[in-house]
Structure 1
């Protein structure tokens, strides 16, 4: 799949090692953005981490609220020589957050990530190819997106890591006043993370998630863990001190990078 039109930032005017991309999306029927970090990394078939934001965010928040570029640099020496391209897309711009779903009333925010974003990264990064492995992560609503898309499309992603996740669509009510009817999809089970985990349980890539004990979503994450115990799916759940905050995500996204680096090193050794 190729994207028909892309606008790419001029490196002469862009922060170092960073690239801004606007994608003309057929799935959204409008333009939306991706921020790439570590875009100057050298190599072939470099792996990509897709990082998805929460309900109030956009493509830039992981860097300019969460300092993810600094978090990545903190642990780079511990990644065993692995270089990741970090791809941070917008959720597609629905007013109160798209939840990265194929929404009946709006647009296909699911395929925006799984088709458009992946295709765009391959087009704008010479170091990324069809042989590159993609990993998926996110925070809050983006954590929900990472868990659901990783489970629904297990052959697209080589690992899943989620932070402070919304774990069911009802959790959106903690953050936005939108009626839940706005999140209806053609498939009535579409929003159910456990449905997709069960449907594809033999193919689910390595999965981890975490939540702070003072987070409004902590009980929801415990409930998801209890459900996962009944499924034949391998996972790791970690509880940490902290709440629903950028301070928490800046710290624990470092765990995500280390987790994905171990998976990438293992996959490279098999290759």
Structure 2
């Protein structure tokens, strides 16, 4: 596998951006691969949480090792602290990631598939919100996964104030009293998608039972399921931390339709 840092210019944001990419390549590690295997490669967009950036998945999990024997590309962008949202202060992060980034990827890495059935999105915490939001807002992704996601149909759960102050949240989402039913409300987006299309994305969500977002996930997933989505919802012991996300990202890889090959373990 090759590990790339790609610096590119975002026309939408009007500034330079960085994405990290884990890219399958012909090598002695995978002598069974051919040039044919490395065309139309499935791609997983992997999204970070509030304290992270485009490098954090590689720094804190085993993602590069986990996909070493699987012909799948991992694209890791950054939204800074903007919640995968077109902010009220004029920075269209959501458009930059949903519309512009896939076009950049297609231009720079043409061996990656553009087909919906081979494009997936996943994320943790804020990135879990972003993954579902991107899947509900488009026809680009056939699978979407959330790990400990802030699955907000409403940003007013009690823990919000411990993350940032109200001025920050208003800068992202605007008047929070008008959040419900807005373009940032996951449940509203999910309902709208069911009314407009029948080819819904398959969803996966995991949440630790000791996580402060546990009840939020239980309620949100129940509402999303009621809309007719195919959802795999799993819980287990766990808190809101990397120890668990490192374990659960392998579960996501097993769930995705990518012929995931586990690395052989020496006894």
TM-score, normalized by length of structure 2?
A: 0.81
- Counterpart contact for 1:34–1:117, Cα < 8 Å: no
Partner of residue 104, structure 2: 120
What are the ranges of 5 or more consecutive residues in structure 2 without an aligned counterpart? 27-34, 261-267
Q: Does residue 247 of structure 2 align to residue 251 of structure 1?
A: yes
1:197 maps to 2:190 = yes
Matching of residue 22 in structure 1 with residue 18 in structure 2: no
User: Root-mean-square deviation (CA), in Å?
Assistant: 2.3
Say which of 117, 125, 129 aligns to 1:144: 129
Measure, in 1, the Cα distance between the counterparts of 2:166 and 2:22: 32
- Who is 1:212 aligned against? 208
Match of 2:236 among 235, 240, 255: 240
Which of the numbers 72, 76, 94 marks the counterpart of 1:84? Answer: 72
In 2, are the aligned partners of 1:159 and 1:263 still within 8 Å (CA)?
A: no
Aligned positions, number: 237
Which residue pairs with 1:60 in the alignment? 55
Distance 1:246 1:72 in 2: 18
1:70 maps to 2:38 = no
Return the alpha-carbon distance in structure 2 between the equivalents of residues 238 and 174 of structure 1. 26
* Deviation larger for 115-124 or 249-258: 115-124
Aligned with 1:45: secondary structure? coil
Matched, 1:134 2:123: no
Q: 2:230 & 2:126 partners in 1: Cα distance?
A: 22
CA separation in 1, counterparts of 2:207 and 2:247? 12
Partner of 2:164: 176
Instruction: Provide the residue aligned with 1:4 in structure 2.
Output: none
Which of 221-230 and 186-195 deviates more?
A: 186-195
The two structures have a TM-score, normalised by structure 1, of 0.80
**CA distance in 2 between partners of 1:222 and 1:209 (Å):** 10
